[in-house]
């Protein structure tokens, strides 16, 4: 892993004056670090088209068609985990978060299909804005062990590339201003929120939904972030105040 190339890339990205040049520099360093594929994308829970938010990327041949045909977006653990992630994560961390989820077998099948197309492992580096998750950088291919320093640098590269590319396209300011003030909650988040309002514990909710305590706590942390609540009790109070539950 060439740490210096990542540091230099941060400077180069700032100096790029055209989107094509920025993407070329980004892709060159990603491949030099051992990753064959990547995607720099906007994140949207409302958009059903999986590739609509991609700003730049390179995927295995036919993978996009297979992903769309099998409707993997509906169960993709990486996309679901990214919706709440506060830090970079490895693909396998997303699978671990959804153990005993109702879609676990479909998730596993998706990961097997991905492996068969050369997407054996990868990392995601979320990009956040004032209103929450805005997008992220995904790098994948053969398994590569990133050091903590490399992960931190890739996180900085993801933010710099994301905002610089949008800036060169004249879309950076619009991205933040058009976002809704309140991020919509997912169906599973609403379920957990209702059970919280009924006074149920994490253990009770996990048994009710047949998911792990870890997954319940992960959803609860996401709820608190979305509602800007300090704790679970305040999350419930804010949900009542905004009419999310009654």
> Tell me, which fold does domain 187-241 have in CATH?
Arc Repressor Mutant, subunit A (1.10.10)
pLDDT of residue 179: 39
Q: Are strands 132-141 and 89-90 parallel, antiparallel or unpaired?
A: unpaired
Give the Cα separation of 182 and 195 in Å (integer): 21
How many contiguous H segments (helices) and E segments (strands) does the chain have? Answer: 12, 5
pLDDT of residue 139: 97
* Domain 3-177 of CATH type 3.30.450.80: yes
Q: Residue 102 in 3-state DSSP?
A: coil
Best CA proximity match to 192, nearest among 166, 158, 215: 215
Local structure of residue 186 (DSSP, 8 states): P
Q: Where do we find the tokens 């790029």? A: 16
- Neighbour tally for 232: CB within 10 Å: 17
Please state whether the predicted TM-score (pTM) of the whole model is above 0.85.
no
pLDDT of residue 45: 52
pLDDT of residue 180: 41
Give the Cα separation of 222 and 78 in Å (integer): 15
SS3 for 103-158 is CHHHHHHHHHHHHHCCCCEEEEEEEEECCEEEEEEEEEECCCCCCHHHHHHHHHHH
pLDDT of residue 100: 84
pLDDT of residue 17: 93
The rounded Cα 240 to chain-centroid distance in angstroms is 28
Best CA proximity match to 82, nearest among 131, 137, 30: 137
Query: In a structure prediction context, what are the per-residue pLDDT tens digits for the chain, which is 246 residues long?
Result: 579 999 999 999 999 999 999 999 999 999 999 999 999 998 765 444 556 788 999 999 999 999 989 989 888 999 888 877 889 999 999 998 888 888 899 999 999 999 999 999 999 999 987 666 788 999 999 999 999 999 999 999 999 999 999 999 887 766 655 434 455 778 888 888 888 888 888 889 998 888 888 888 888 888 888 877 778 888 887 777 666 775
Separation in Å, CA 130 to CA 14, 122, 197: 22, 27, 27
pLDDT of residue 53: 82
Separation in Å, CA 90 to CA 122, 123, 146: 6, 4, 10
Q: Where are the domains of the chain?
A: 3-177, 187-241
């Amino acid at each position: 892993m060439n740490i210096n190339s990542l540091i230099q890339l941060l400077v180069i990205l700032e100096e790029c004056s055209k989107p094509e040049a920025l993407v070329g520099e980004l892709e060159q360093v990603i491949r030099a670090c051992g990753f064959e594929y990547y995607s720099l994308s906007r994140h949207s829970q409302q958009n059903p088209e999986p590739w609509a938010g991609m700003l730049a990327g390179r995927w295995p041949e036919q993978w996009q068609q297979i992903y769309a045909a099998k409707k993997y977006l509906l169960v993709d653990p990486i996309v679901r985990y990214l919706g709440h992630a506060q830090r970079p994560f490895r693909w396998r961390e997303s699978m671990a978060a959804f153990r005993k989820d109702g879609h676990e077998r479909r998730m596993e099948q998706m990961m097997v299909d991905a492996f068969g197309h050369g997407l054996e492992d990868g990392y995601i580096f979320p990009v956040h804005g004032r209103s929450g998750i805005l997008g992220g950088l995904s790098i994948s291919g053969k398994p590569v062990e990133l050091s903590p320093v490399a992960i931190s640098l890739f996180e900085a590269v993801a933010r710099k590339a994301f905002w610089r590319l949008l800036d060169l396209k004249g879309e950076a300011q619009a991205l933040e201003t058009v976002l809704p003030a309140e991020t919509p909650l997912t169906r599973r988040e609403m379920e957990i929120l209702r059970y919280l309002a009924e006074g149920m514990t994490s253990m009770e909710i996990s048994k009710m939904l047949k998911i792990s305590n870890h997954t319940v706590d992960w959803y609860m942390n996401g709820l608190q972030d979305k509602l800007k609540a300090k704790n679970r009790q305040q999350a419930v109070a804010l949900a009542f105040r905004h009419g999310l539950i009654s």
